[in-house]
Chains A and B, each alone.
Chain A
Amino acid sequence: MNNDKVITADQLTKRFGDFTAVDAISFDVHKGEIFGFLGANGAGKTTAMRMLSGLSLPTSGKATVAGFDVYRQNEKIKQNIGYMSQKFSLYEDLTVKENIRFYAGIYGKSDKFIKEKTVFILKHLHLESETNKLVRSLPLGWKQKLAFSVAIFHEPQIVFLDEPTGGVDPVTRREFWNMIYEAAESGITVFVTTHYMDEAEYCSRISIMVDGRIDALDTPQQLKKTFNAASMDEVFLKLARKATRGE
């Protein structure tokens, strides 16, 4: 099971002019894993995620996502991934139902599938009574949870979450992570960037990026042992202090 690699990266690099945003990173992500991508602002985690999700073409190195090559099989990759950005990604002036139908429609799901799954999701999120309300009127936490449900609506193999819990209160964050666990249990691989250290503890494995490179990659327990730290916070600070790159 753990040999089932859904993402592989080998010496993956992205340069913008003289600036090397991502510097030859290599790692594998296995099916059903929650893979945490940590780093200070500007460490290069968003750029790395963008290369894997097809938003940005690598400068050099190799990578596959869901078994497809990031250079040549972009369209295949797009069919198999979901994405939720740090910016809120639902339409505020559309209702809950319209948002779901639109995103499901993009992936060309059948009407029957859309209908059944919409009912299921709304029930799961306790949003049945808000079906026809504008997304604008929902509290931020609900919006985030809805956005996540929409991102995995088409049942992708992998979902990329770019700082999904920014600005959300601790209770909602906890609920949000429960949803991530559920998704992972159902076989969806979760690739998540964050800079909340408590969230890092929830991940199966974590990679910590400093100045465009991956400085550490292991399970949270192992990382704490290696760095002789009581918490992930300490691990992170020990590593991040070496950073030369500012914001």
Chain B
Amino acid sequence: MANSYNMKQFIAFIKKEFHHIFRDTRTLFILLGMPIMEIIIFGFALTNEVKNSKIAILDNSRDAATASLIAEIGSSRYFNIEKDIYSYNDIESSFREGKIKLAVVFPQHFGEDLRHFNKAQVQLVADASDPNVANTLTNYASAIIVDYQKRITQDHQLPYTINTEMRMLYNPQLKGAYNFVPGVMAMVLMLVCTLMTAITVVREKEMGTMEVMLVSPVKPLRIIIAKAVPYLLLSIVNIASILLLSVFVLDVPINGSLLLLSFESVLFTLTCLAFGLLISASTDSQQTAMFISLTGMFLPTIMLSGFMFPIENMPLLLQIISNIVPAKWYYLIVKDVMIKGVGFESVWQETLVLAGMMLLLLMLALKKFKIRLA
């Protein structure tokens, strides 16, 4: 008897939450469309790979060697030769016009030096106002030059050479997608769960309906769970759409167990939900809730999860702080499971950390959620 009463109450609640969500079509559209948009934006527009950079060539030598080297640089997909220039002064002015990112300078007698002294020089001048791009471009250009050098020295072996052979494990083509798909998953789940749950509970406080609920026989725990269930379901839809897009559109494989990946995602979702509930229990206005969710969860997720910026390069203090960001652990897990294809035995520590955070946040949220308003 008591059970059917509780069940009825719970179902009435969940129904109501779904009414809220489905009636607000604009928000629903954003919630379901956002992961798709992000995957597409990150997949096709925002990429760290540098392609078709405009460069200038200053060839003071004009011989067969420079001609073939220039042809090789020009035909690479990284570079477009924007123009030929004829003096050092032009290099500076071309950079200033913002037309080129890199200048390749061949000194006089390049071909002759190469043939007679087995030694020649090329100068690479890069626009380092964006240091990452400058670095990448000079690396690409050096690689092409080294390649060329290897080919012409093939016939007469140098006495001592060390050939480095590189293998890029797990992501042989160095695709950005392998990195951002786990990151986008963390971001989307965070946004849907933390922000939306925080807002939906606080909205009831603002409207005064929470008071009516607290006067009613509903148990606070049940209010909280009923609030979280619809967003958990929405998140599962989002996880599925992100994974489908990454497998079928971006060719990012799921190397590990799909079951494990789903389990970890649900665990992370629950952590985010718990955090959202904690925020909503601690604030009374939607603005504050939104502000806390964005600064307290969304920014750290982007900055400190290792998704945008490598944690290894951060100052020690930030490295330590990054440990309390749940997204960092989830990001590690997803990369391990999805890309490296490892099993639970390799990610149990991260999982434990995440589970611990979830329980702690949930307990704090329940404690804070006041049964009585005063």
List residues of chain A with CB under 8 Å of any chain B CB: 16, 47, 50, 53-57, 75, 78-79, 81, 83-94, 98, 101-108, 134, 151, 160
Contacts of A85 in B (CB 8 A): 208, 211-212
Contact B213 A106 (CB under 8 A): yes
Our pick among B11, B16, B20, B374 for the contact of A56 (Cβ within 8 Å) is B374
Contacts known (A50-B373, A56-B374, A94-B20); A108 close to B8, Cβ less than 8 A? yes
Report Cα–Cα, A98/B15, bound state, in Å.
9
A-B contacts, CB under 8 A, total: 93
Report Cα–Cα, A55/B216, bound state, in Å.
10
B116 within 8 A of A: no
Contacts known (A94-B20, A102-B16); A89 close to B8, Cβ less than 8 A? no
Contact B19 A98 (CB under 8 A): yes
Contact B374 A55 (CB under 8 A): yes
Contacts known (A54-B372, A89-B211); A98 close to B16, Cβ less than 8 A? yes
Residues 209-247 of B contacting A (Cβ, < 8 Å):
209, 211-218
- Distance (Å) between the CB of B178 and the closest chain A CB? 41
Q: A55-B215, A78-B217, A89-B208 are in contact. List 4 more A-B contacts (CB 8 A).
A: A87-B211, A91-B16, A105-B8, A106-B213
B interface residues, how many (CB within 8 angstroms): 27
Report Cα–Cα, A151/B211, bound state, in Å.
12
Report Cα–Cα, A90/B19, bound state, in Å.
14
- Distance (Å) between the CB of B184 and the closest chain A CB? 30
Most central of B12, B20, B372, B373 by chain A CB within 10 Å? B12
Contact A88 B374 (CB under 8 A): no
Contacts known (A94-B20, A94-B23); A78 close to B215, Cβ less than 8 A? yes
28 of the cross-chain contacts (CB-CB < 8 Å) are A50-B374, A54-B214, A55-B211, A55-B215, A56-B373, A75-B217, A78-B217, A83-B212, A83-B216, A86-B208, A87-B207, A89-B207, A89-B208, A89-B212, A91-B16, A92-B207, A94-B16, A98-B16, A98-B19, A103-B216, A105-B9, A105-B11, A105-B12, A106-B9, A108-B6, A108-B8, A134-B23, A151-B212
Our pick among B15, B23, B215 for the contact of A54 (Cβ within 8 Å) is B215
With both beta carbons as reference points, the residue of chain B lying nearest to A95 in the complex is identified as: B19
Our pick among A16, A56, A102, A160 for the contact of B15 (Cβ within 8 Å) is A102
